[in-house]
Structure 1
Amino acid sequence: MNTPTHTTGSCTLVGAGPGDPELLTLKAARAIAAATVLLVDDLVGDDIVALASPGARIVRVGKRGGCRSTPQEFIERLMVAEVRAGEAVVRLKGGDPFIFGRGGEEVQALRQAGIEPVVVNGITAGLAAPTQLGVPLTHRAHAQGVLLLTGHSQSGGGQTDWALLGATAHQARLTLVIYMGMRGARQIQQGLLAGGLPAHTPVAVVQHATLACQRSAVTTLGALHDTIARERLASPSVIVVGDVVRGAQALAEAGPAPADCRAGVTGRG
């Protein structure tokens, strides 16, 4: 690690939460309002960006699974350059910076440049989505723990062993919360079933969690892929697998999303 150097600027990594501005922490709202430069992900809604000072510079650095994204290395260089120019930088991310938000990579890059960032947590979509359905992630009668997983394998990083995860979840009574799993839903389903997780295991899929255009479906592991296709659910969505989903109450049938519901304004799916 390089020796820290004096800078007049600052950098704060802020979790914008799953989409609903009222779920921001007070600390997050204060940081957004105080920023002179905001580097904003695609998964952050306009209502949250509107909390910035009128004089703040807004830089869109979109990053969304399955789409063309701003290179991570460019974002990190931009953060460092703006801090060294004396700006109060806020890196504004959907959900939480340290849960599938590349916050760890950005903290490392800043520290190597001699900049010590502040991190403000946000409510991650993997917590907010099941809560919208009245579903807890843990429950004494149904789940002894929870695993937060990505359904998107890193290039060159090998494939996720879904069969092993299915066996582990079944034996240890764990809830699986899967981000960015919509494209690979069939493979995930087949792997979990191969690992011994029963086909009747309850599953919930929540799209655009906490927003007015939220959509959801409750199904079983054996019918997961067919349900996603039938209901035309898409990213960004969270998939929740486990007996805790039995607690979902009287869900409305998933219907067409409102026309003004923009893809990519809530937690990662």
Structure 2
Amino acid sequence: MSDFDFGGDAFDLNSAEDREILQFVLSQALFGEATGVYCGKSLYAATSLEAARFYLRQARQELNHLELFAEIFRTLEITPKPAHWVIKVLSAHNNYYPLKVFMEHAIGEGMVLDIFRDVMMQTLPDSDPRVPEIKKKLAVVCREEEEHIAWGEKETKRFLAESPWLRHPYYGLLELQLSVAPIVTRAFAGRAAQHKVLRHLPRFVDHVKARVWKQGQELGFVPAVRPGLGYRLFAMTWGVLLFIRSQFSRSTSTLEKTYLTELGFTP
């Protein structure tokens, strides 16, 4: 069920301009699904059987999503383009697991779901005979993205309970993500006001920000009232430093040492 209403406005799949817009949006999605290969590193570093099962399942799902989006490109007869640099940054793998589940699953895939469910499912025209099959594929993707988000939220809550200090860098990174993500939409800023779908863009961006902010509050690291500039800068600096550290961290496997306990045996 979508939380945002485009008022019935839809793209025209026979319009060169609209096809260019969809090409851009779908290209970002295709890249995001290609990063599903990162699940291999997460599986290697899994600290529990539950996590190992999740990443094994997610790897299969993400690679299936990659094929589904490739089929959508072929159905619409458009060719993918390279991903925007912001998408590449936001999709970067984290070897530091507490950041991975927070940035990639809870927040990142939450924003991805906003695009798939709120934008694509509403604005692809049902009058076009190609669209019903495309929406079936998107429905599969949305359902499985919800699973990934639920895992990220569950693990984020666990880490916040175990390491309360993480609420500071988590908050700082959320502020940064909400600042950086809208940069992707600047490519359409000049024509947004005159386009029947893009004219909703500013309101949609505000909707996503509000939803993510509320999500952060429910997870327990975003305060009821936005902090002052001093704390925001402190939290963002901490978050950036932790993110940089995560890019140089090395994954290590532990499950081969803990499997007996994980299986319920006493070693």
Fold shared by both chains (TM-score > 0.5): no
Considering fraction of residues, name the structure with more helix: 2
Q: TM-score, normalised by structure 2?
A: 0.31
Q: Which has the higher contact order (CA 8 A, sep 6+)?
A: 2
